[in-house]
């Protein structure tokens, strides 16, 4: 990819400029969210980074909430930084309200708290199967073997995707999140659409109780969804189901691996697993949500101008010292765990209940089998940053029970 020259528009004040490379800033290290937050400590609450084509970035919890709740100014119709020529169109994500509402309506029954509660026994069984595959070995790469497989497996079950294609889908999703050029994004999007076209054709012939069948049969304001609409909805759900829970869970377990006291406490008292999952979400946000300025807007001393991109760094929302004490400390007992990692407002993540349940269930099933574990010493885990933050590996080891193996 050609490096773009640093860009500062004339209306940006010098004190609002803070140079930060969202894709490769060298100040971000192995404690990804912690070092990220430290790197931005001296940046203004809303700042202009001249890198990656030039864009605004928002680092405070309450300002992020303000931006994502003002779709008439900050539109979700484009979410690439730098901007690309033919940005992917995602339903309902790329649609500003009220256009997104009927589509959310269609999706709700399959992602509601009640639907998630109904799915819990099935999710537990899936988590158990995945963990049992590595249990006797006394070691695994938690990312590749567990956290990448479980949420994706659950999601594929919801969608009616064949599980034997898991690794292939996962690889495509990885390429997508690493893609930066228009050409790459288009090419990978086409691959993903190809997979979904096959699946839609299959479900037309063989209906099930999956989401694709629901898309094909549901009534939306008196009509059926078109093939393009189904593709666009599947696309955003596909990507959303792949990388998000995987990454938050991986970072949260990376923390847990280094905290034997917390392992023992949670193994003894699984009723605290919801608090554990929520604290993991607060500490280890992985999603940034870009918006396109669609009308000039002045707020907080900043002149947002039409055509500019704004990145709300959701992972910063849980590390905001104005919202909580000791934001960099992992504490399941803190009463409030403020964060916006599911965003807020009209585009708030539809999968929030599912994601939380997945984290809680996976931790529960894991600790039942592996009550004590640690990260293999001396191994680099690797990470990537961008509009999604990921942990690349997490090699764990644990004592094998006698008589097993």
Partner 1 sequence: MVHIRFIQADGTAQEIEAEPGESLMVNAKAKGVDGIVAECGGSMVCGTCHVYVAEPWFGRLPAPSDMEVDILDYGLHRSPQSRLSCQIGVTEAMDGMVVEVPVSQR
Interface positions with partner 1 (CB under 8 A): 65, 69, 97, 101, 104-105, 108-109, 112-115, 117, 342, 344-346, 348, 350, 352-353, 356
Shortest Å, Cβ 358 to partner 1: 13
> Cis omega (within 30 of 0) on the bond before 82?
yes
Nearest to partner 1 of 149, 323 (CB atom): 323
Cis peptide before 92 (omega within 30 of 0): yes
Q: Which is nearer to partner 1, 213 or 343 (CB)?
A: 343
Alpha-carbon distances, residue 396 vs 121, 252, 255, 347, 380 (angstroms): 26, 13, 12, 36, 12
Nearer Cβ to partner 1 (205/336): 336
- In the bound complex, what is the minimum distance in angstroms from residue 106's beta carbon to partner 1? 11
Closest separation in Å from C-beta 167 to partner 1: 32
User: How many C-beta atoms lie closer than 10 Å to residue 145's C-beta?
Assistant: 20
Q: Which is nearer to partner 1, 231 or 281 (CB)?
A: 281
Task: For residue 284, give the nearest of 206, 331, 341 by alpha carbon.
Answer: 341
> Is the CB of residue 257 less than 8 Å from the CB of residue 140?
no
Residue 8 tokens read as 């500062």
Kindly tell me which of 109 and 329 has the beta carbon lying closer to partner 1: 109
d(CA 340, CA 61): 7
Distance from the Cα of residue 272 to its chain's centroid: 23
Choice between 109 and 301, CB closer to partner 1: 109
Q: Is the dihedral of CA 217, 221, 222, 225 positive or negative?
A: negative
Distance in Å, CB of 109 to partner 1, minimum? 6
- Minimum distance from residue 77 beta carbon to partner 1 (Å): 17
CB of 143 to partner 1, least distance (A): 26
Whether the bond between 98 and the residue before it is cis, its omega within 30 degrees of 0, is yes
Q: Which of residues 66 and 210 has its CB atom nearest to partner 1 in the complex?
A: 66
CB of 70 to partner 1, least distance (A): 11
- Asked if residues 355 and 249 have their Cβ atoms less than 8 Å apart, the reply is no
How many residues are present in the chain? 405
In angstroms, the CA 288 to CA 365 distance is: 29
């Amino acid at each position: 990819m050609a490096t773009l020259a640093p860009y500062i528009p004339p209306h940006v004040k010098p004190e609002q400029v803070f140079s930060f490379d969202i894709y490769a800033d060298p100040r971000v290290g192995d404690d990804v969210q912690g070092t990220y937050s430290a790197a931005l400590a001296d940046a203004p609450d809303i700042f202009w980074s001249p890198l990656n084509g030039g864009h605004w970035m928002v680092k405070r919890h309450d300002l992020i909430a303000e931006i994502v709740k003002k779709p008439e100014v900050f539109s979700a119709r484009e979410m690439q930084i730098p901007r690309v020529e033919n940005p992917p169109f995602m339903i309902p994500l790329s649609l500003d309200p009220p256009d997104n509402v009927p589509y959310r309506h269609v999706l709700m029954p399959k992602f509601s708290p009640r639907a998630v509660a109904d799915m819990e026994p099935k999710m537990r069984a899936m988590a158990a199967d995945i963990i049992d595959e590595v249990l006797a070995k006394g070691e695994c790469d938690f990312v590749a073997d567990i956290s990448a497989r479980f949420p994706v497996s659950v999601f594929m079950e919801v969608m009616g995707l064949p599980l034997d294609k898991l690794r292939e889908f996962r690889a495509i999703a990885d390429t997508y999140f690493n893609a930066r050029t228009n050409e790459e994004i288009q090419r990978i999007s086409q691959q993903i659409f190809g997979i979904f076209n096959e699946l839609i054709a299959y479900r037309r012939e063989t209906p099930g109780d999956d989401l694709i069948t629901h898309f094909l049969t549901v009534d939306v304001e008196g009509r059926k969804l078109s093939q393009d609409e189904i593709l666009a909805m599947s696309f955003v759900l596909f990507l959303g189901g792949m990388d998000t829970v995987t990454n938050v869970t991986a970072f949260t377990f990376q923390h847990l691996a280094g905290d034997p006291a917390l392992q023992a406490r949670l193994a003894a008292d699984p009723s605290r697993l919801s608090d554990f999952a929520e604290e993991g979400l607060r500490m280890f946000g992985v999603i940034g949500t870009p918006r396109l300025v669609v009308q000039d807007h002045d707020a907080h001393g900043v002149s947002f101008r039409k055509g500019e991109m704004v990145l709300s760094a959701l992972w910063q929302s849980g590390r905001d010292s104005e919202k909580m004490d000791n934001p960099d400390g992992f504490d399941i007992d803190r009463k409030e765990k403020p964060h916006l990692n599911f965003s807020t407002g009209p585009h708030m993540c539809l999968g929030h209940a599912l994601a939380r349940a997945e984290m809680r269930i996976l931790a529960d099933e894991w600790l039942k089998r592996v009550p004590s574990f640690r990260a293999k010493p001396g191994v680099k885990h690797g990470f990537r940053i961008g509009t999604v933050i990921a942990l690349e590996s997490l090699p764990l080891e644990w004592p094998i029970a006698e008589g097993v193996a």
